[in-house]
Amino acid sequence: MGKIYMFNFVTLDGYFEGARKWDLEWHKVDKEFQQFAIDQLNATDTLIFGRITYEGMANYWTSPDAEKDDPVVASKMNAIRKIVFSRTMNQASWNNTRLVTGSAFEELSKLKAQTGKDVGIFGSANLVSGFIRENLIDEFRIMVNPVILGRGGELFKGIEKMVNLKLAGARVFKSGNVLLSYERGD
């Protein structure tokens, strides 16, 4: 299998969302980012979500706004295989989604053993933190936006043990976004 990576936008002061859930107005998305998103999705065959991110993504990417603003990414997001981890959901209705109510760690370990393209974890900060603790993420893709919020949701909340990483790549976007890619440095 390809690698298991996490991707998230983050502010310069380390928040992945504003003070309210799904406060993402500060994301800098332009044509250059949209092409990056298309390329990233083309190299990915499965997306992983926790319940909260899944619900937000499903609501947006199936909406007329997504189809109007970003039709190529919307098409890819709606078609790609998805797994949502939740103990409270009864069903997952977004196209091509499988609901897993059991151990997320066991499921991701099984995925790592299969062949295929990369597996991406978008958003899902709580799930990501658990996967970090279990050493299941191969690459961290952090899109730093040139903004300071002062408060919001912390990306790596609950990580109590240092995780050594090594820089695998960096890319500066015209918008001022900077993509930093890190691999585990254990």
Q: What's the DSSP call for residue 95? A: T
- Total domains in the fold of the chain: 1
Q: What is the pTM of this model?
A: 0.92
Encode the chain (186 residues) as per-residue pLDDT tens digits. Answer: 689 999 999 999 999 988 887 777 878 888 999 999 999 999 999 999 999 999 999 999 999 999 999 999 999 999 999 999 999 999 999 999 999 998 888 888 888 778 688 999 998 888 999 999 888 999 999 999 999 999 998 888 888 889 999 999 999 999 999 999 999 876
- DSSP three-state, residue 75: helix
Looking up residue 75, the CATH number of its domain turns out to be 3.40.430.10
Task: Give the contacts of 165 (CB within 8 A, at least 6 positions apart).
Answer: 140, 182, 183, 184, 185
H helices then E strands: how many in the chain?
A: 6, 10
pLDDT for 110 equals: 84
pLDDT for 74 equals: 95
Range of the domain at 29: 4-184
CA-closest candidate to residue 162, choices 180, 135, 141: 135
